[in-house]
Amino acid sequence: MPERPLLPAWSHSLVRPALHACLAGALAAAGALLLPDRYRSEVRILSDYGHAGGSAMLRTGVWAPTAPPETFGNREDGPTVVYVDILRSRRMAEQLLLQDYDYGWRDFGRPRRARGTLLDYLGAGSVDQALGALRKLLSVQRDSKSGLLTIGAETRSPELSLQVVRRAAEVLKAVLVDLSQAAGRNKARFTLDRLEEVKARTAGLARDFQQFQDTNRNWETSPDPGTRFRGGRLKENLDLWRQVVANLTLNHEQALLEAQNDTQTVLLLDPGSLPAGKSGPARGFIAFTVAAAVGAGSWTLRNRGAIARRILAKETSA
């Protein structure tokens, strides 16, 4: 009796799996058509290594470099390291989710427009519920060598994607200004409060001296030593406190200038643009993957007996 082949002829064993693969691919392609198009927009920010604002970031604890500014190509540490943490913070999430956006998209070929918050777009009832979806929508990538930071957003609307990434860049700048100017603002607030107190004290001394002068005209040439002593003491105290007012005024202005100079600069390399083409979904890849998986599964199931015999034959011969 002739030996039975372990596997059937390929021309017969591939016909049915190929039909199954074609059918599954067609169904997957039809189902993929129901998936909405997605559009991605990106904003790119350079790392500002040469700005003096790094000293303020050091004092506020936002960025504490352990070495002098590094040369290009070796920037593991730098300002954009903390940018990533800010962009992933709840403070940033609230600013993005609660902001109103006006955007349009196409729903099965029909143009539609909407105005609302990102919270409404994600269909979440609160910020906490939307945090997970926002992390998928908003991506943050940082190049460890150049320090280049890329902020991307992918939504069903090209306009919404662009607005979200630009809003993220605006909030990032506002947060950095707030943090980097914190030390200067505290100093300015303290000097201003002290200045108000000293001005009130000086005004009281000026009133006392004026009342003394109204009562004792030409007190400087008065024959009474007590009158001359009291008038001189009042005048010296008034001049002293006026000098304190002048010094505090200068200190207050200096604190305001320091706060402004310590502001961390956001170097926007690419402000983002309206995406012209869709970024997903990859319908062809989905259909091909489903077809290949179904075809391979169908072929394996159809030839499971022959595959088992070949495996058994290999084990027996071994």
Q: Report residue 226's pLDDT band, with 50, 70 and 90 as the boundaries.
A: confident
Query: CA 26, 32, 34, 37 torsion: positive or negative?
Result: negative
133 and 83 within one domain: yes
194 and 149 within one domain: no
174 and 51 within one domain: yes
CA distance readout (Å), 127 to 21, 72, 133: 43, 39, 10
- The total of structural domains in the chain comes to 2
229 and 127 within one domain: no
49 pLDDT above the threshold of 60: no
167 pLDDT above the threshold of 90: yes
Of 213, 228, 261, the one marking the end of a domain is 261
What average pLDDT does range 84-106 have in this prediction?
88
Cα angle 82, 84, 90 (rounded to 5 degrees) comes to: 100
Which has the higher per-residue pLDDT, 145 or 282?
Answer: 145
124 pLDDT above the threshold of 60: yes
163 and 53 within one domain: yes
What average pLDDT does range 256-270 have in this prediction?
76
14 pLDDT above the threshold of 90: no
Of 242, 261, 280, the one marking the end of a domain is 261
Is there a domain that residue 282 lies in?
no
Given a contact cutoff of 8 angstroms between Cβ atoms, the answer to whether 82 and 62 are in contact is yes
pLDDT tens column, 208-220:
888 888 888 887 8
* 3-class state of residue 188 by DSSP: helix
145 and 199 within one domain: no
Of 240, 261, 282, the one marking the end of a domain is 261
130 and 197 within one domain: no
Q: In which domain, by residue range, is 240 found?
A: 183-261
203 and 145 within one domain: no
168 and 45 within one domain: yes
pLDDT tens column, 277-304:
777 766 677 777 877 887 788 777 777 7
